[in-house]
């Protein structure tokens, strides 16, 4: 049986999806779990920049047959294994999204936990991680439009037989009602992550500012995610067939 895989999904950009994916991976790693994080947002890649890594090969190279998963992964912050993307239109065009299943299989074989930062929309690249993951973590701010958008994404997750674990509300303040936002999304609240301008930009905060509010929230999130998608879900998705939401 391979490792456990979690997908991190959002509605619109700017809600902190990639930040959540990286910090969640770092929280798992610091907790003693061998973890890999992969940039599956093939058209808007920024995981590598956020992690501060220098990679010779990318996930796009793997998907185009130019490199293996092992050749494209590098050690990132805190020992997290990072498979980053490439911000290049030609690389996006070369990438064969049908190979994503094999990429995730290899990562799950090589690591105890895999965190996938996913894209948006109804593209094959966006839907594949939803269906293959043991659980999907939804990310939103307390903005009502953002919450409604992520609710639509949660519907897409279920359309491909994915499992929604719950929602993370980011950039919260003292007056934020995270429970109300979770109610708008229609999913259980996993964690709320406070905004902290004094440590913003220093990623992953789990490592760079472990005593900060966001770092502590991400550590709690890792526990909540494991509890929500624990042993009952492990390995469950390895044989899933990812279907289009237009299929019966």
Our CA angle for 73, 224, 226, nearest 5°, is 50
pLDDT tens, position by position, 175-226? 999 999 999 999 999 999 999 888 777 789 999 999 999 999 999 999 999 9
CATH code given to domain 4-228: 3.40.50.300
Tell me what pLDDT residue 235 has: 39
Question: How do the domains of the chain map onto residue ranges?
Answer: 4-228
DSSP secondary structure string for all residues of 51-107: HT---SS-HHHHHTTSS-HHHH-EE-GGG-EEE-----HHHHHH--GGGHHHHHHHH
- For residue 237, pLDDT over 80 is answered with no
pTM for the whole structure = 0.91
Q: Where are the beta strands (DSSP E) in 98-142?
A: 113-118, 135-140
pLDDT in tens, 53-101: 999 999 999 999 999 999 999 999 999 999 999 989 999 999 999 999 9
Residue 1: per-residue pLDDT: 54
The mean pLDDT of the chain is 91
What confidence score (pLDDT) does residue 238 get? Answer: 39
| Tokens describing residue 202 | 């220093």
Phi/psi of residue 151, nearest 5 degrees: -65, -40
């Amino acid at each position: 049986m391979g490792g456990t895989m979690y997908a991190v999904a959002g509605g619109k950009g700017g809600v902190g999806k990639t930040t959540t994916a990286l910090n969640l991976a770092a929280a798992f790693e610091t907790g003693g779990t061998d973890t890999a994080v992969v940039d599956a947002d093939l058209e808007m890649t920024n995981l590598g920049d956020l992690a501060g890594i220098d990679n010779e090969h990318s996930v796009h190279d793997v998907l185009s047959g130019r490199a293996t998963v092992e050749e494209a992964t590098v050690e990132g912050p805190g020992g997290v294994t990072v498979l980053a993307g490439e911000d290049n239109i030609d690389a996006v065009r070369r990438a064969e999204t049908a190979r994503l299943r094999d990429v995730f299989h290899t990562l799950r074989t090589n690591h105890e936990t895999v965190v996938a930062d996913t894209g948006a929309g109804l593209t094959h690249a966006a839907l594949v991680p939803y269906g293959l993951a043991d659980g999907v973590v939804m990310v939103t701010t307390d903005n009502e439009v953002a919450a409604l958008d992520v609710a639509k994404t949660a519907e897409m997750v279920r359309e491909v037989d994915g499992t929604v674990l719950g929602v993370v509300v980011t950039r919260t303040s003292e007056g934020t009602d995270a429970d109300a936002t979770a109610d708008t999304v229609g999913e259980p609240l996993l964690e709320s992550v406070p905004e902290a301008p004094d440590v913003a930009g220093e990623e992953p905060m789990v490592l760079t500012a472990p005593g900060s509010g966001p770092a502590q929230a991400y550590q709690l999130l890792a526990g909540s995610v494991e509890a929500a998608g624990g042993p009952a879900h492990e390995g469950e998705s390895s044989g899933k067939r990812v279907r289009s939401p237009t299929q019966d």
